[in-house]
Each structure stands twice: as C-alpha cells, then as structure tokens.
Amino acid sequence: MSLGRRRIPRLGGALALVAALALLSGCATYSSRTAALRPQLAAGDFDAALKTIDEGTGSHDRLLTLLERGLVLHYADRWEESNEVFSAAELLAEDLYTKSVSQGVASLVSSDESIDYRARPYELAMVPYYKALNYEYLGLPRESVVEARRAEELQAAAVEATLGDVREADRADLARIRIDPFLLWFAGMLREQAGETNDAFVSYRNAAVAFQDLHDLLEVEPPDDLARDLARTARRLGFTAELEQVRKDCPVVFRSPAPDPQEAETGRVVVLLETGYVPQKTQIRFDFPVYSGKSYDDTNAASWDLYNGAGRYRTLYPQRKIEYWVSVAAPELQDALADPLARCRVAASDCDTARYTVVATNLSRAARITFDAEKPTIFFKTILRGLTKYLAQRGLEKSTGKVGGLLANIFGAVTEKADTRSWSTLPGRILVARLDLPPGRHDLQVELLDKRDHVRGVRTIAGVEVRPGGWTFVSRRLF
C-alpha cells in the first residue's frame, strides 16, 4: 500500500472520531446556542423561548434548563408551572452538591461543559423570589412566606458551597455577599403581609444591616421605605431600643425616610421593575507555551505557574526553547453596556402620589463579583486541561506514532471550548418603588427616565387592586 493510499483510511477514521466528538461535546458554546433566547423573551414569544431552551441545553445543563424554563413560564403568567419547574430546580441543586468524579476527569480532556451545571449563588437566591411572586399572583400569600424563609437561607448556603471551589486569596468579596439585602427586605414585606410582625422586623433589620454593609460593593441604593418599615413594625412591637440600635448601626438606611401614612386607610403597592440582563459569558481563546526539557510531572503546579505567568510568559523562561503553543478556550464575563434607564417615576393615574424607584438589587454586579472570585480557578483549570491534553497527545504520539498523536490533537481541538453557561434570562437590576394608595383599582403610570431625568418611555400597569391595610406586589420586566 502506498503512503498516499494509507492516508485515506487514517483520515477517514480521524474524521469519524471527530464527528462523534463534535456530537458529544457540541461545537458551539451555551451562549451561542441560546443566542435567540433573549430576543424571543423581549418579544414576548414565550413558546419560541421555551423551544430554544430545550434545543440549546444538553444533559449536563439540567439545572440551567429548569432555571431558564421557570423564568420564561413566570413571564408567560404560567405561575403554577413556573413554580413546579423552580421546585424541581431547587431539588436538583441540592443533589448537585455531590460532584461526579468521572465528570471532573472527563472535563480535563474535553471541556467544563461536560460537568453538570451548578447554579451560582446569586442565581439560586432568585428562585424563591420568583416563586414567591408566583404564589402572590396565584393568591396564595401563605406559600409566598415560605419562599421568604427559603430566600434567607438559600444564598448563604450556596455561597458556602461555591467558596469551596474558589482559591482562598480570591474569596473576600464573594464571601461578603452571602445574602442579598433586597431579598431580605422583600422577605420582610411578605412576612408583614402574613401578619408575622416580629419576623418581619427581624428581616427588615437584617436587610438594613446588609444594605449598610454592601450598598457600595453591590452598587445598590438603600430604600427609604425600609426605614419606614422598621419604624412601623418596631412601633407595633414596642421595640424602641431595638429601632434606635438599627438607626445607629445603619445610618445610610435612615437618611430621609418619608412619614408613614395612616396604616389602615391605605394599601401598600410594591412595584418591582426588572431591567436589562445579567452579563453573559463569552468565549475567549489564549495560547500558552510548553517548553522543551521542562518537567510537567506535577501538572497542577505547572498550571498555576503558567497562570501566574500569563501575559508575561515570554519572559518566564527566556533561556528555554518553546516546544509547542497550546491553544485553550476560557470564559470571559461581558459586562453589559450601561443601562440607559436610570430610574422610573411611578404614579397612580387617579392619585397625586408619585414615587421614584431605587436600584434595590444589582444582579449584574453580583455576577461580576462571583466571576472575579472564580476566574483564577477557572483559568487554572483551563490551563491544566490544555496541558493535560497536550501531554496526552505527546504520550500517544510516542507510543502509537504520529496518527495517534494526530487523533489526540483533533480530539483536544474539537472538544476545547469554554464553559459559558449561566442563567441568561435573569434581569441585570431590579428597581423598586412603593406607593401607598387608597383602596380600589388603580392604573399605574411608569415613566422610564434617563440619567438627566428625561422621559424615555411610559408603561402602564393596569388594574392594580389595593386593599385597605393590605399589600399588593406587582412586577414587570422592562425590555
């Protein structure tokens, strides 16, 4: 057999393997596979969005599928289904505490997308928020209080679990955001609505402390209404000394609280406006050198060595000859462009009352803090994977000849992609305004304002029911 004819079966075999691997790993990253999702959601085409989720997610994305589906169903006003899906997500998230060793090994020779997706803490923390809203809309306020209790414990547990995978030196900011101040405040409002005044005060107090500690880091604004909530519940409970202590500990929350109106005569309307999207991960590629004659027996140490030298690797070992440049793919968080929407002015069309929103939660910022904490570990794992693939290729080439090396090289190249998975439909920020309105049905006008307070658009929320002394929660996604 001539050399030319022998190359044909080699090529055929290699191509067959590459085809199988392409099927196995999928060539596209998660963010590119689900690129249509956000436009479909913005257009209100929920069925198409659900189809994109089903088609764009794989067997290792079960949790992600449930999170994306749960939110789309929430926006589609399919609240019961949304809660079923979110509940399944919570159970799965608990099960995923146990990591698969085989998936970990597979990720070293393919990509991190071969590991089951585990939600980030700020993502898991939003599940009780949406479930609580679903229960509110279903007219089941007692169940929404259950979610309020869950919200308080879930994020802290998720942060703990995530910190275990993060290098100690990178933990500081992530460790601080064990709880979202807004979610504590939200939990307090749900508890007060359910008549649990004492528990509500505790939630409000914790929210005030969290806003005081984290408003700079998370880039959120402590709401004036929180101070009113604290004052009102403290008055009912006779907690004068406790209120004074909170006032002293959390001056940023008590800057200028508006007076509380007569409780029984009005109802409270909580307007929650979700804007933008959390930043999405994209794939970047970078190369690092493998040196001739250098020992790579300890791949972990070699990978950290390479990570620490990234960007100045040319000067790392100038005396050594470069044997090979390894090309790898890693995720990068793409911060969204500045939101043109600065705040909103919310007013009832039949009342004088108008209130401006505050940025109560900033998921974009939480995503950035989380990613920055995880980034060194992710890049280390990426380099380790590239090195493992290259060393396997070199070993195979030595033992089986060039074809073995070629196959390993193709395997490595086809499976090399960044793990860009994240809950992509989450909003970037939630703006909150609270209105005290007389009982009855009201239409709310929402003016969208830019940084100069120019009106960029108006939305109407029609038929908001207000009960005397009651609470009404209204949420809208602004696209």
Q: Which positions lie near other proteins, rule CB under 8 A?
A: 6, 9-10, 12-14, 16-17, 19-21, 23-24, 59, 87, 91, 94-95, 97-102, 142-143, 146, 149-150, 152-153, 157, 160-161, 164, 196, 400-401, 403-404, 407
By beta-carbon proximity to other proteins, the closer residue of 63 and 474 is 63
Residues contacting residue 360 through CB under 8 Å, at least 6 positions apart: 181, 182, 185, 220, 221, 223, 430, 431, 432
CB-based contact 366:374 (threshold 8 Å): no
Rounded Cα–Cα distance for residues 97 and 99 (Å): 6
Residue 163's Cβ-side half-sphere holds a number of Cα atoms within 13 Å equal to 16
Question: Which tokens in the block code for residue 405?
Answer: 């090396």
User: CA torsion, points 285, 291, 295, 298, in degrees to nearest 10?
Assistant: -10
CB-based contact 372:173 (threshold 8 Å): yes
Q: For residue 229, give Cα distances in angstroms to 25, 141, 385.
A: 52, 19, 52
Burial group, residue 240, by CB count within 10 angstroms (0-12, 13-18, 19+): exposed
Q: How far is the CB of 65 from other proteins (least distance, A)?
A: 15
CB-based contact 423:353 (threshold 8 Å): no
| In 203-277, beta strands by DSSP E | 267-275
Q: For residue 122, give Cα distances in angstroms to 16, 44, 157, 406, 417.
A: 42, 25, 11, 42, 24
Q: How far is the CB of 9 from other proteins (least distance, A)?
A: 5
